[in-house]
Amino acid sequence: MAFTALQSTFFLLTFAATFSVLFNGCHGFYPKLINASLAASEYGWSPAGATWYGSPTGAGSDGGSCGYGGSVAKAPFSSLVSAIGPSLYKSGKGCGACYEVKCTSNSACSGKPATVVVTDECPGCVSESTHFDLSGTSFGAMAKSGQAEKLRDAGVLQIQYRKVECNYPGKTIVFHVDKGSNPSYFATLIEYENGDGELASVDLKQALDSDSWQPMQQSWGAVWKLDAGSQLQAPLSIRLTSLDSGNTIVAASVIPAGWEPGKTYRSVVNFKA
């Protein structure tokens, strides 16, 4: 009986010790799980270089190569814009894309992302595979509160970026008819696309042609054109296809009869944000 009791005691002590090791071992994995979770939260971020241009609290330029003009300094862009190197500018197809940018490489960096819109090209920004030449406002938006000026004094920064969906609450897509347009040649700047922000293709349909869409060509930046060769019959409908998702929407009869070069026409549609 004494031997059996001793065996039982030994068994219980062994079980307790084993359980303790397993229990403590499990607790030892939790930091790894937390680290894995933190790593997952960084998914999608890529490295890039960043500089800034223009005035310290401005929009970088008076419009940029995308063609948005003075609207870059107004809501909803609100000067939170960027010129971009060739890899993301995509010969103008990158115009209108939205990116989050953040920095941690300087003591003035907040580490919090700021959202910027591509409105310009930086053709000389080729020292890194990806480079953002941010407006002064955008560069300062990556700083800790009250340290925007200090961050702008840092010069070239190493940052992280990721593409995000554009979201312009309450905004529908706008068409600014180019001043060079005429009855047989139509060109328009396209602005405020939710979602991808970038366009893969644009097509036009005339009022007298209810079934056939004519492909427009990218003229420059965010401006698309159609040289019809004969007088266009308004109202004109415009079909937009986004670059990444391939989503398509139609701004039906958005360009009215009697349209004029230099005028702006607002649609009633937009891609989902």
- Does one domain contain both 51 and 136? yes
Query: Looking at the 3D structure of the chain, how many domains does it have?
Result: 2
pLDDT digits (tens, 9 = 90+) for 93-114: 999 999 999 999 999 999 999 9
SS3 labels along 186-226? EEEEEECCCECCCEEEEEEECCCCCCCCEECEEEECCEEEE
* Residues spanned by the domain of 158: 46-164
Residue 258 belongs to a domain with what CATH number? 2.60.40.760
Q: What's at 105, amino acid-wise?
A: S
- Does one domain contain both 82 and 160? yes
pLDDT digits (tens, 9 = 90+) for 62-84: 789 999 999 999 999 999 999 99
pLDDT digits (tens, 9 = 90+) for 172-210: 999 999 999 999 999 999 999 999 999 999 999 999 877
Residue at token pair 């702008």: 152
Please indicate, yes or no, if residue 235 is contained in any of the structural domains. Answer: yes
pLDDT digits (tens, 9 = 90+) for 202-243: 999 999 877 899 999 999 999 999 999 999 999 999 999 999
- Does one domain contain both 82 and 185? no
Please indicate, yes or no, if residue 16 is contained in any of the structural domains. Answer: no
Please indicate, yes or no, if residue 36 is contained in any of the structural domains. Answer: no
187-223 in b/e form (b: 16+ CB < 10 A) is bbbbbbbbbbbbbbbbbbbbeeeeeebeebebbebbb
Burial of 173 (0-12, 13-18, 19+ CB in 10 A): buried
- Does one domain contain both 139 and 59? yes
Domain's final residue, options 164, 187, 212: 164
The pTM assigned to this predicted structure is 0.82
> What's the pLDDT score for residue 40?
33
- Does one domain contain both 74 and 140? yes
Statement: residue 4 has pLDDT above 50: no
Tell me the pLDDT band of 12, cut-offs 50, 70 and 90: very low
> Are 118 and 172 contacting, i.e. CB atoms less than 8 angstroms apart?
no
Strand partners, 85: none
